[in-house]
Amino acid sequence: MTRAISLHDVSKAYTRGVRVVDRLSLDIAPGEFLVLLGPSGCGKSTVLRMIAGLEDIDEGVLLLDGGHGNDLPPSERDIAMVFQNFALYPSMTGRDNIGFPLRIEAPGADPRPRVDATARMLGIEDLLDRFPGQLSGGERQRVAMGRAIARHPSAFLMDEPLSNLDAKLRNHLRAEISKLTRELGVTTVYVTHDQAEAMSLGDRVAVLRGGVLQQVDTPRSVYALPRNVFVAAFIGTPRINLLRGLVRAPLDGAMTLSLGKQFLRLPEPLCLDHQLLRVQQGREVIVGLRSEAVRIASRAEARPGEVPITGLVEHVEFQGHEVLVHFNTGSRPAVVPDLEAPRPAVRPVRRRRREGRVLDRLRGRAGALRAGPVLAADDPEPHGSVSRGFSSQGSAPQGAAVTSPDGRLPGDLVVRTTPDFDLRHGMHVPLLVDLAHLFVFDQHGDRICPAPDRLPDLEE
């Protein structure tokens, strides 16, 4: 039996009334593998612990198979949890650790048949008679997973179970977890800050920031249509290129996105998404380009929907099967403030004399989506401060070695290409930008191109 889990406007606060989870609503279907993804401290583990009953829910409702679950003790929820730190009893063998919850549930029953069946499933028969101190990290995690699987629960909760393992073992166990959960068909909620795990494991991915749900969708949709600039920057390797742009839409000429010294000319006739950009005329926006949205080729090789720019090679990263090239295009990078922080910077709220009910609802809905404004920032200022919003002033001093706050090397555009190109520092290279993979976000970080699936309805 598997289980449906629903969270409706669930909130949790600790000291000083700061909400680590803020009005979270999420429906998890029976048998679904859902991944909670976000930076450390964003509330992922707290959500998991509230589902398990290890944390009280301050506000909102938890439904388990449609029944109210807020006050159910953990022992009555039929949920198994796998922790980050293995949590094995050091004085018990692997067999006793796996069989311990079975002996608690049914004191008179013999747990050995289920323990042996679980061990065969995980391929750990030879570990059953060893103590945790005699096992490697990967072996301990397998035993911990066996303890959860042997109970035959209706749901699995996994709190970063692979974060303490080395990269090779992590990839191996990731594949094992995916195979096991699909064979068992059990509802699984998996917490991680590693977007590679989230994209490879989840049926759906829920991205959290500051305890607020930013977006929940399939891995493909979260990558291809991020709802805001935070999701776009958090998902994808290498990180998406974010550039400060200016929309120019003259009535008697072509629409362009100015990127400083160069611009992207939008082809005519304009598609619907590009037509909607007209309302941003004269406004600064954030332009997002994935590394695969730009290729090295001359203007003569342009395909429909591609526009030319040029770049100066700043750095070349050889990855073996591919190369990441860092270009300087004369554009101005846009940095999402506190991208790796659990909470966004809070912008002071301006008072309005008259607050209409419709505007109140729209502001409340927008605040719940973004967990506060997601702004773009200029280059780092002295003493590590970051200026909020856009600035009309220039960049860092000439000759200074600048590394952006998100850890990227100098250069404003990273392009993924093949090892066939012989590129060296200082080369001028022609580039083609595929406008079909162009993202445009407003100054608050909301995606405006491609247009959101649902626009605000003032009649609601």
Residue 388 has a pLDDT of: 30
Task: Tell me what the pLDDT averaged over the chain comes to.
Answer: 82
What global pTM score does this model have?
Answer: 0.81
What order do you get walking across the sheet with 294-296 strand by strand? Answer: 294-296, 428-434, 306-318, 323-328, 413-417
Residue 384 has pLDDT above 90, yes or no: no
Q: Using H for helix, E for strand and C for coil, what is the string for 394-454? A: CCCCCCCCCCCCCCCCCCCEEEEECCCCCCCCCCEEEEEEEHHHEEEECCCCEEEECCCCC
Residues contacting residue 397 through CB under 8 Å, at least 6 positions apart: none
CA–CA separation, 358 and 369 (whole Å): 17
Residue 292 has pLDDT above 90, yes or no: yes
Q: What confidence tens digit (pLDDT) does each residue in 218-251 have?
A: 999 999 999 999 999 999 989 999 999 999 988 7
Length of the chain: 460
Residue 396 has a pLDDT of: 33
Residue 451 has a pLDDT of: 86
* Burial class of residue 222 (count of CB atoms within 10 Å of its CB; 0-12, 13-18, 19+): buried
Residue 345 has a pLDDT of: 54
Q: What confidence tens digit (pLDDT) does each residue in 67-84 have?
A: 999 999 998 999 999 888
- For tokens 């406008």, what's the residue? 435
- Domains in the chain, CATH or no CATH each: 5-227 (3.40.50.300), 230-347+357-391+404-449 (no CATH)
pLDDT level of residue 21 (50, 70, 90 thresholds): very high
pLDDT level of residue 459 (50, 70, 90 thresholds): very low
Residues contacting residue 335 through CB under 8 Å, at least 6 positions apart: 242, 376, 377, 378, 379, 386, 404, 405, 406
Residue 400 has pLDDT above 70, yes or no: no
The whole-number average pLDDT for the span 335-346 is: 61
- For tokens 């629903």, what's the residue? 6
Residue 385 has pLDDT above 70, yes or no: no
Q: What percent of the chain has pLDDT over 90?
A: 49
